[in-house]
Structure 1
Amino acid sequence: MLITLFWTFLKIGILSFGGGFAMIPAIQHEVELQGWLTPEQFSEAVAISGMAPGPLATNCAIYIGKMTMGLPGAAAAVLGMVLPSVVLIAAVARFFYAIRTHRTVKTVFYGLRPVVAALVVVAALRLGFTYFRAEWWTWKTGVSAAIFLLALLGLTRYRMHPLSVILLSALVGVAIYG
């Protein structure tokens, strides 16, 4: 049974793309095929896995493995699920480590840096514009803008740890909006 858990989740880890919710149908198919959980138990597994920190599919593998074979089942399932990604990342890292000093590779990465920064900024702007479109300018959006500017100042000027900024912003949000 442990080997079946391992091979099943290894197959899912190799053949599934998109992560998270994109992998759920493949996991559900295998769980039903093996008869490991009832549909209700599987729904519960997805719900609990979604609430737990970490990747949904990995959490699902751990939960299903634990439900079927206890702790050894959880270990077998999660090992099968993450092994393909770990091997792929290790191979890519080894390849890039070998060519990292090559002039062309360095110039490519220098060219990619501003693009990555632009992608982060665009994602932030889209999130912000969605919020501002919903309520345009109210006292709440003004406070949110002030929190944003203070967070930006704390991160850049005072080099505060991001976790500290997040926690302080959460406390300010509770104090003002709560």
Structure 2
Amino acid sequence: MIYLRLFWEFFKTGLFAIGGGMATLPFLHDIGEATGWFTQAQLMNMLAVSESTPGPIGINMATYVGFTVAGVPGAVIATLGEVTPSIIVILIIAALLRNFRENRYVDRAFYGLRPASTGLIGAACVSVVLEVLTNIVVASPETGLFNQFQLGDGGLAGLISWPGLILAAVLLALTNWVKPTKNLHPIVFIAASAVVGVVFRFAGV
């Protein structure tokens, strides 16, 4: 049953997460809340690993979650669940595109999907920023439409996660404004961030 659940959850994610890999994050957050397979903090770790590895982030996330839940078979099944809707939809669109390319209703449908994609990606970005750069806990309510936001144990005094904020600011400067480093390959910054994280953790920061 765990394999069927994995396939179904990621099939829904692949079907409705319009706008690319980052748009899967709200769905993954709901999966974690509904199944207990992973916490929000673990989801952020999965996102970091998925962003650091080759391939589409949505598929990487599906593979990571599937492996975490049910090993290699779970990784395969979750990945299949993620890509199956895209394959089906692309085959249908490819078969019908010639007839519907100039259809005004199709054009208007895509016009409506664009802001939906933007909203999903924006919600994912907000969750990532709150989780990584602050100590605000984002929780999905059992009822209602809106997430709940709660301060961590440190209260207002510990609102900002200063190590995360400093690291983000340094990386922003190094990748955009410092000439010797801004053209370096992203893997350099990923490796450096991993080292800094290990140092911070051992230092108890």
Structure-1-length-normalised TM-score = 0.52
TM superposition shift of 1:94: 2.9
TM superposition shift of 1:35: 0.4
Unaligned regions of 5+ residues in structure 1, if any? 106-133, 145-169, 171-178
Secondary structure at the counterpart of residue 54 of structure 1:
coil
TM superposition shift of 1:25: 1.2
Look up the match of 1:118: none
Any conservation in 1 of the 2:10–2:82 contact (CA below 8 Å)? Answer: yes
Any conservation in 1 of the 2:32–2:40 contact (CA below 8 Å)? Answer: no
Look up the match of 2:52: 51
RMSD over aligned Cα, in angstroms? 2.5
C-alpha distance in structure 2 between counterparts of 1:32 and 1:52, whole Å: 25
C-alpha distance in structure 2 between counterparts of 1:95 and 1:25, whole Å: 30
Look up the match of 2:81: 80
Q: What amino acid is aligned across from residue 35 of structure 2 in structure 1?
A: Q
TM superposition shift of 1:83: 0.5
Secondary structure at the counterpart of residue 53 of structure 1:
coil
Aligned residues: 104
C-alpha distance in structure 2 between counterparts of 1:69 and 1:24, whole Å: 20
The answer to whether the aligner puts 1:69 opposite 2:105 as a matched pair is no
Q: What amino acid is aligned across from residue 52 of structure 2 in structure 1?
A: M
Secondary structure at the counterpart of residue 23 of structure 1:
helix
Structure-2-length-normalised TM-score = 0.46
C-alpha distance in structure 1 between counterparts of 2:37 and 2:46, whole Å: 12
Q: What amino acid is aligned across from residue 78 of structure 2 in structure 1?
A: A
Look up the match of 1:21: 22
Look up the match of 1:33: 34
Larger Rg: 1
TM superposition shift of 1:38: 2.5
Look up the match of 2:164: none
C-alpha distance in structure 1 between counterparts of 2:17 and 2:82, whole Å: 10
Unaligned regions of 5+ residues in structure 2, if any? 102-175, 186-205
C-alpha distance in structure 1 between counterparts of 2:73 and 2:32, whole Å: 17
TM superposition shift of 1:32: 2.1
Look up the match of 2:11: 10
C-alpha distance in structure 1 between counterparts of 2:51 and 2:33, whole Å: 20
The answer to whether the aligner puts 1:94 opposite 2:91 as a matched pair is no
C-alpha distance in structure 2 between counterparts of 1:95 and 1:79, whole Å: 24
TM superposition shift of 1:46: 0.7
Deviations 1:154-177 (A, max 9, x none): xxxxxxxxxxxxxxxx9xxxxxxx
Is the helix fraction higher in 1 or 2? 1
TM superposition shift of 1:39: 2.5
Percentage of pairs with the same residue = 36
Q: What amino acid is aligned across from residue 22 of structure 1 in structure 2?
A: A
Deviations 1:87-120 (A, max 9, x none): 1111222335xx59xxxx8xxxxxxxxxxxxxxx
